[in-house]
Structure 1
Amino acid sequence: MIRVLIADSNEHTLAGVKNLLKNEAGLDVLAHAPDGEAVLELINQGIMPDILLTEVHLPRINGILLADQLHRNFPFIKTMVFTMEDHEHYLIDAFKSGIRSYLFKNASREELVFAIKQVYQGKHYVCTQLASRLTRLFLKGTEIPSLSIEPDIEFSGREMEVLQLISDGCTNQEIAEKLFTSRRTVEGHRQAMIIKTGVRNTPALVKYAMRYNLLKAREDAIRKAVS
């Protein structure tokens, strides 16, 4: 039985996909979620799908960043994009983030089921419509740059200070002394950032910050402010 979790903020899409898959032998729709954080909450509650079927433009954590987090923290969950976003740039970023399949929402029921089964078997799948377009671009020698979607997560000024000191290797006590606050408060900021990003621990939080240049962005903002 292939266990599927659906993530989409559009209630009509959720209902439509559930209706498409509900009578398909060998598939079980475990749950659905309206945004990226809700997906992580369900997983943390013990709902473990084989397949996540997600929209690109999810609220709170978009589908591509969500796929990246799942790929790093729950690699056994295979993520598929199911979207109306037909720009080739998103396809590049999607596969870089660990997504295994990219489908348009106008795909037939047969193609959707086929793609799910292909991904479950460890394969990649691009919907027929997009594959044809990419083939034409390839034959023309057109280069498709990545959009490199930035995380839509905001840290407070104090959280960024804590993050910077964490990346410098400081302990909670050392950070508390430097920021003239309590160790408990520092631990609270650290945990808040872990929850916001969906990572599993402090090393993963630092890796996340480095991946998206969060610390460099803060340094640039400070430099601009004082110049």
Structure 2
Amino acid sequence: MYSVLVADDHAIVRSGISYLVDLQPNFKVVGGTASGTDTYMRVEQGGVDILIMDLSMPPGENGLITTKRIHDKFPHVRIIILSMHEEQEYINKAMANGAMSYILKSSPDSEILTALQHVANKEKYLDKNIIVSKADIKKINESGNSLNLEGYSTLSKREKEVFPLIALGYSNKEISQKMFISTKTVEAHKANISRKLHLHGRVELVQYAIHHHLIDF
């Protein structure tokens, strides 16, 4: 039995995908999340074999970043991206960052089910409506991409989780409640982020996050 986590910022989408997955033999939905940070934290708790995730779950961390963080830390988790983004750039980066499958939200339910079977067999799968050229395959296979950021890569796991919340304007108290940490710990993370990225104040931090596509609004 494969345990599946469904991540999408729309409750009705999570519900629909969960219902579809639970109808399939050998697959069981074990939870649903609505943001990149919550998704990472749920994967961190364990018991997830397959993750079906939207790339855009605003406001919060960019889904491409979440994909890379999860794949780097939990490579055993097989990631299926279910997205409205049909642009080849998104597809290339998602696959380069560790996704095993990319499905378009405009496609029929059968594509999700096909993707589930492929990733269960440890096989990559692209939506049949996606046309991939040799140049695209080359980009997917290239190790380097725009998300391997100097500075950002030096942040700790928790600092990367706190970063988008700061950029989106959450207060120290709100962050502490969301992350189940003390406000002093939040302040320490903020100081470390500013030091490592050589940023001075929230304005520069927001500019950095936007420039490097680290957050979605």
TM-score by length of 2: 0.64
Shift of 1:189: 4.6
Shift of 1:83: 0.8
**Given the alignment of the two structures, is residue 52 of structure 1 paired with residue 51 of structure 2, yes or no?**
yes
In structure 1, the gaps of 5 or more residues are 157-184, 194-204, 222-227
Shift of 1:107: 2.6
Contact in 2 for aligned 1:79/1:98 (Cα 8 Å): yes
Corresponding position of 2:109: 109
Corresponding position of 1:39: 39
* 2: CA distance, partners of 1:47 / 1:72: 15
Shift of 1:215: 2.7
CA RMSD of aligned residues (A): 3.7
Which of 1 and 2 has higher RCO (CA within 8 Å, sep 6+)? 2
Corresponding position of 1:125: 125
Cα offsets for 1:73-93 (capped at 9, x unmatched) = 111111111011111110111
* 1: CA distance, partners of 2:55 / 2:75: 19
The code of the aligned residue for 1:23 comes to L
TM-score by length of 1: 0.61
Corresponding position of 2:156: none
Q: How does 1:53-92 map to 2 (within 5 A)?
A: 53-59=52-58, 60-92=60-92
Q: How many residue pairs align between the two structures? A: 170
In structure 2, the gaps of 5 or more residues are 150-159, 168-182, 205-217
Report percent identity of matched pairs.
20
Larger radius of gyration: 1
Flag the 1:138–1:31 CA change in 2: closer, same or farther, 3 A.
Answer: same
Q: Which runs of 4+ in 1 moved over 3 A?
A: 146-152, 185-190
1:129 is paired with a residue whose SS is: coil
Q: Out of 151, 164, 170, which is 1:153 matched to?
A: 164
Shift of 1:148: 3.2
